[in-house]
Structure 1
Amino acid sequence: MGRGDGSGRVVSPDDADDTGAGILHVDMDAFYASVAVLDDPSLRGLPLIIGGRDGRSVVSSASYEARRYGVRAAMPVGQAIRLCPAARVVPPDFPRYQDVSRHVMTIFESFTPLVEPLSIDEAFLDVRGARRLWGSPGRIARLIRARVIDEVGITCSVGAAATKHVAKMASTLAKPDGLLIVSEAHTRRFLEPLPVRAMWGVGPKAAETLESRGIRTIADIRATPVSALERAVGAALAARLHDLAEGRDPRAVETTRVEKSVGHEETFEHDITDPAVLRSELLRLADRVAARLRRAGWEAGGVAIKVRFSDFTTLSRSQTLAEPTSVGQRLGEVAQRLFEAIERRDPVRLIGVRAERLGAAGGGLALWDDDAHWRRVEGALDDAHARFGSSMITRARHVGAGDGRGSARHPRDHGVE
């Protein structure tokens, strides 16, 4: 299996059989770093770290040159610089990434209307209906790669296969700047030697559990009785792994995606030890989450928090709500209770609030609305924000708190996951 630094890259020859490989997974190569080079060509070929220049920041992305030194996303920038002292640190420019992403997605949509963005820099395309207009899947993949480099100026890698799962695995193997085609007839042969960690959706814990039982490759999964897989990872995941190992994946390319969660998190300039400050911050973040829910017409059926301590240990806690809501006060109160239930009281580096289990607003209103008061208050705040801007009006408890929130380095907004 290829690694994140581009070693172990596998690509298809020009005459590769693409029969039945009508699902493409297109992934931009080191997207943030590539955009930095696009805007400043003098950076080409240099090891790049995308992140804040202070020691408190984490790596958002890194060029392949930096990855070969062991630099990885989510690593502290200070640690990354120690691994690669010659690296150039470039601050992230998220509005610019959004602009480039829109250009790339427009190219995808010129080949097929069946485009499913997974994130800012990757998407699935169903090109099975585009053969008469553009040719075979392999030809379409090559045309897409050529247009992205010609029109946008960055490279992408493409996996072509009969299913989404195999297409995504193929694009990973092809990185950077490659195309790997897996015909439908060769799907099982392609999968057999790959490690279980390569499977899309198999996390580190599940992989460790499987490997501890001698299940190291996809061929091993196929050879293991489903009952044994169930004892290792549970019935639901066992059935899914068994199907994927056999090359079965019924998931279609979805052209409209419903947000699964909405969240905000913030990294502090200085570690915070005061519980009152942290509780206030949770409420502030919950207000921001709730405002986004209301703008989108959603309500949350669950709340989750994320807490990262000074030693980078990260904990998550979540709770299902009795009734869906888009009220920040309610989301914040649940987030505060989740935080209070965490026994550890070390200094906190990062804290976040996430709304989960989203559904359309008004879909489950109770006969008695316990949040009616706060709903009116927050509705009035929405109106005020629309007129005067969100930075002009906030809760009184957040004014002049002096807790370091305003000096957080780069708050990150998270939408689709």
Structure 2
Amino acid sequence: MRVEPGQRAEASILHADLDSFYASVEQRDHPRLRGRPVLVGSGVVLAASYEAKAVGVRSPMPGHEARALCPTAVTMPPRFDAYLAASRAVFDVFGDVTPLVEGISVDEAFLDVGGLRKISGTPVEIAARLRERIRADVGLPITVGVAPSKFLAKVASAVGKPDGLLEVPAGGELDFLHPLPVRRLWGVGAKTESRLRDAGISTVGQIAHLGENRMCALFGRGAGRHLYALSMARDPRRVETGKRRRSIGSQRALGRRVKSEADIEATLLAIVDRLAARLRTADRLAQTVVLRLRFHDFASITRTRSLHDPTDSTETVLAVARGLLDEAMPLIRDRGCTLIGLSLTNLHDHGAVQLSLPFDGDDHAADLDVAVDGLRVKFGRDAVTRGALVGRHHGHDAPMLPD
């Protein structure tokens, strides 16, 4: 068997992906929901169980559309503390299996088990025990793809869902990949799928048959080469451990009812408070603020602004976020707003940033941030809140994934 440069001679990379994560946690914690269609989130569906997906429900579908498709579905409010606790428990299991773990989001990761055959068995045996342990210890179903590369392992886990285990053996990559629809390729969304369909391409094998030059002519040099490389199962990337997050973010679904400008700004306030605290807990500084809005017609926009110096100050992030929101407010007045999200990107380690002159500036704001963080850790996140947030409901707070 000829091995491409950078390609493994053995299927030893796992992609482990929890099945309908939020909905599965609800079914685990509420036995009455097991085997029933479950929706998490009411205004917008954040997650749907496989019983609901079977009749066409998807996220982020508007709640009224989901309930029309599945009238018997049980709608649950999101419990992000429970989801994060479950995620930590799952990643503890990953870390026990191998030290080579690359988290992608709260519910999926790559694991490299290439050096474990003598002590733990074959990669497929390791994957089977991993699934059994997560079911036993955490109470959740998980699908694992096993392949010679990260890309193929992720495709295998998607094909193997739900609650499955699928191996793509070394040497069988193209036999597995080429019959699949083009949407299985990592990064191919609805627009690219439509363009491929217009070109008469519906399977991965057809991309490979068309060739790199023709793909570059259709999609440009960068995208064409990328799609062709994936169609030939070329992916030399290694599982990376200890990689710092490049961004942190949060978003809140506002539902279909019209929200006042004061309600929208209060939601932004709450998101900024949470993200700035997370930034300080991680000992990171952010230099770029990204605002994301979704309108009633389901179109989305993003607005971005970078700072001269990185910061972890709540008030600085809030000032930038408010400025971005003010710029977008005419569009909100015209089109309504169903979701607001904020990301802090271009992150730096706290000790790696040069201090700016003067060094003897006013530190009272930083002292206040630290004091408020401490009170919330000790007494709960609602122990200290802004006056503008008292008595308000701000929708569903969810991590923006992947980061």
Q: TM-score, normalised by structure 1?
A: 0.82
Q: 1:319, CA displacement in angstroms?
A: 3.4
CA distance in 2 between partners of 1:321 and 1:63 (Å)? 41
Q: Is the 8 A contact 1:155 1:177 kept in 2?
A: yes
Q: 1:108, CA displacement in angstroms?
A: 2.5
Q: Is the 8 A contact 1:60 1:73 kept in 2?
A: yes
Q: Is the 8 A contact 1:226 1:239 kept in 2?
A: yes
Q: Pick from 345, 366, 382: which aligns with 1:356?
A: 345
CA distance in 2 between partners of 1:133 and 1:73 (Å)? 41
Could you tell me which amino acid in structure 2 is paired with residue 59 of structure 1? V
1:18-167 aligned within 5 A: 20-52=10-42, 57-167=43-153
CA deviation string 1:367-404 (max 9, x = no partner): 5469955xx2430222321454365656xxx52478x8
CA deviation string 1:160-202 (max 9, x = no partner): 1000100010111111122211111011221112222111122
Q: 1:50, CA displacement in angstroms?
A: 2.1
Cα 1:265–1:92, aligned 2, differ >3 Å: closer, same or farther?
A: closer
Q: 1:283, CA displacement in angstroms?
A: 5.5
CA distance in 2 between partners of 1:39 and 1:190 (Å)? 37
Would you say how many aligned residue pairs link Structure 1 and Structure 2?
388
Cα 1:325–1:221, aligned 2, differ >3 Å: closer, same or farther?
A: farther
Could you tell me which amino acid in structure 1 is paired with residue 223 of structure 2? L
CA distance in 2 between partners of 1:63 and 1:401 (Å)? 32
CA distance in 1 between partners of 2:389 and 2:78 (Å)? 28
2:223 counterpart residue number: 237
CA distance in 2 between partners of 1:203 and 1:359 (Å)? 31
Point out the more displaced range, 310-319 or 297-306: 310-319
**Unaligned ranges ≥5, structure 1:** 1-17
Two-structure CA RMSD over aligned residues (Å): 3.0
CA distance in 1 between partners of 2:220 and 2:287 (Å)? 25
Cα 1:94–1:332, aligned 2, differ >3 Å: closer, same or farther?
A: closer
Q: Is the 8 A contact 2:314 2:369 kept in 1?
A: no
Identity %: 38
Point out the more displaced range, 65-74 or 220-229: 220-229
1:379 counterpart residue number: 366
CA distance in 1 between partners of 2:94 and 2:76 (Å)? 28
Cα 1:283–1:102, aligned 2, differ >3 Å: closer, same or farther?
A: closer
CA deviation string 1:268-301 (max 9, x = no partner): 4753343x76556546644543332233222223
Q: TM-score, normalised by structure 2?
A: 0.85
**Unaligned ranges ≥5, structure 2:** 1-7
1:315-330 aligned within 5 A: 315-330=301-316
1:202 counterpart residue number: 188
CA deviation string 1:37-63 (max 9, x = no partner): 3223332221222224xxxx2222122
Q: Does 1:183 align with 2:173?
A: no
Cα 1:96–1:370, aligned 2, differ >3 Å: closer, same or farther?
A: same
SS at match of 2:36: coil
SS at match of 2:172: helix
Cα 1:298–1:144, aligned 2, differ >3 Å: closer, same or farther?
A: same
Point out the more displaced range, 277-286 or 179-188: 277-286
Could you tell me which amino acid in structure 1 is paired with residue 123 of structure 2? P
Q: Does 1:217 align with 2:203?
A: yes
Cα 1:401–1:219, aligned 2, differ >3 Å: closer, same or farther?
A: closer
CA distance in 2 between partners of 1:415 and 1:368 (Å)? 36
